[in-house]
Structure 1
Amino acid sequence: MSLRERKQQRAREEIIEAAFDLFAERGYANVTVADIAERAEVGRTTFFRYFGDKQEVVFAGEQDWLDDVTTRHRAHEHTGPPTLTEAIAMLRDTVAAICASATRNPGHYLRREQLIAENPELEDRSARKQRLFTSAITEILREQGASASTSALAPQIALACYTAGRLIAAGDPALLGPSVDAAFEQLFR
């Protein structure tokens, strides 16, 4: 990573940290982009270089997850159109990787989950981002020659397993991965 890239990464991380600190101190609704930029010691222009709005700070990293999912599935070696069982197995691995990434920093995960639970606009944004995930996977499965039903159903099943595991984990980052995996396991009984 070049010096410029390291500086950009550091600025992005400082913005995220400042935002989460402010959200904890004042509540999400009482924090502005200007507050976040000031706390992170960056200008508003710098803030908007990395994030479109303060909601996007809460979901920082999710685009990376989506990009990773897309890259992973497009690169996946397949000998023919995936069956529903094969597609779900691929997605199980993908969702496990997303859970591991999301909970890598348990404190951040807890704060993020609390923010989403307490703010309907963040819950709505989360649901829209989940729809982007399922749409991307649906498209990839179609590209791989999966049937229309497999392309539509597999991503929805994976999302349902993630959602159920998230509810069972009840915000505990240590339980998210195992709870999601247990939900997938129920499919194969």
Structure 2
Amino acid sequence: MSRWEPNARERLQQAALDLFVERGYESTAVAEIAERAGLAKSTFFRHFRDKREVLFGGGELLGELFTTGVAQAPGDATPLAMVGAALEAVQAAFPAERRDWVRQRTAVVQANDELRERELLKAASLVEVLVRALRERGVAEPVARLAAALGYQAFPAALARWTEPGERREFAELARQELARLHAAVAKLG
């Protein structure tokens, strides 16, 4: 195997996901992932700390996109509109060609207790990113926390719809719809 290969990270991610789907997460070793990708095991560890990171390594990008979206919302935007801008910004992480990968990743995560727990931790950290971004825009703590929680409820719902077979709409459109649905539900609380 050569010392340097183009697209090593992407090849490792795809090889890992393919093996997780075929054999299960628990039954897949890092060495098998590297072999499937045509790379050395050491190359795997240059890109990922462990095999979980193949599935969860994009959290930093989502956090940055959430923060950027809130920061770039118009000055007179409501807290929920700022969260909507954050969800729109996340569109960059979900181009159409990633739809199948995200669908398979979701299935792998849902089939494993450890990965589901990790997904919940990731969700909690992303809610905190949204809260911090809203607070930096001057939104009071309880309002920021509630808006962030609603935004994060809209995020996985939109993602689930985006990965449905036959779905072709962009993630941002589905996220807007989900946030509007949740906003309407909150209004019914009285």
TM-score where L is the length of structure 1? 0.78
CA distance in 1, matches of 2:72, 2:7: 30
SS of 1:48's partner is helix
How far residue 171 of structure 1 moved from its aligned partner, in angstroms, is: 4.8
The reply to whether residue 146 of structure 1 matches residue 143 of structure 2 is: no
Structure 2 counterpart of 1:88: 80
Find the counterpart in structure 2 of residue 50 from structure 1: 47
CA distance in 2, matches of 1:9, 1:77: 40
Assess, with a 3 A threshold, how the Cα gap between structure 1 residues 58 and 13 changes in structure 2: closer, same or farther: same
Tell me: CA distance 1:147–1:8, structure 2 relative to 1, closer, same or farther (3 Å): farther
**Aligned in 2, Cα 1:179/1:72: closer, same or farther, shift over 3 Å?**
closer
Distance 2:103 2:81 in 1: 28
Flag the structure with higher helix content. Answer: 1
Counterpart among 106, 129, 148 of residue 155 in structure 1: 148
Please give the per-residue CA displacement for 1:107-159, whole angstroms capped at 9, x wherever unaligned. Answer: 11221111111111111111111111111111122222211112211100111
Question: Do the aligned partners of residues 99 and 115 (structure 1) sit closer, same or farther apart at CA in structure 2, a change above 3 Å counting?
Answer: farther
Is 1:137 aligned to residue 130 of structure 2? yes
State the match for 1:183 in structure 2.
178
If the length of structure 2 is used for normalisation, what is the TM-score? 0.78
Task: Point out where structure 1 has 5 or more consecutive residues left out of the alignment.
Answer: 1-6
Aligned length: 177
Provide Cα deviations, 1:21-57, integer angstroms capped at 9, x if missing partner. Answer: 1112211111011211222232333212211211111
1:15 equivalent in structure 2: 12
Q: 1:37·1:43 contact (CA, 8 Å) conserved in 2? A: yes
Structure 2 stretches lacking a partner, 5+ long: none
Q: Distance in 1 between matches of 2:136 and 2:71?
A: 9
Structure 1 pair 8–41 and aligned structure 2 pair: CA distance change class (3 A): closer
The 3-state SS of whatever aligns with 1:29 is coil
Asked if the contact 1:166/1:176 (under 8 Å) is kept, the reply is no
- Computed over aligned residues only, the root mean square deviation of the Cα atoms, in angstroms, reads 2.8
Contact 2:158 2:174 in 1 (8 A): yes
1:82-106 deviation per Cα after TM superposition (whole angstroms, max 9, x unaligned): 6xxx121121232244356336222
Hey, what's the Cα distance between the residues in 2 that align with 1:176 and 1:116? 23
2:176 maps to a residue whose letter is D
2:115 to 116, 122, 127: 122
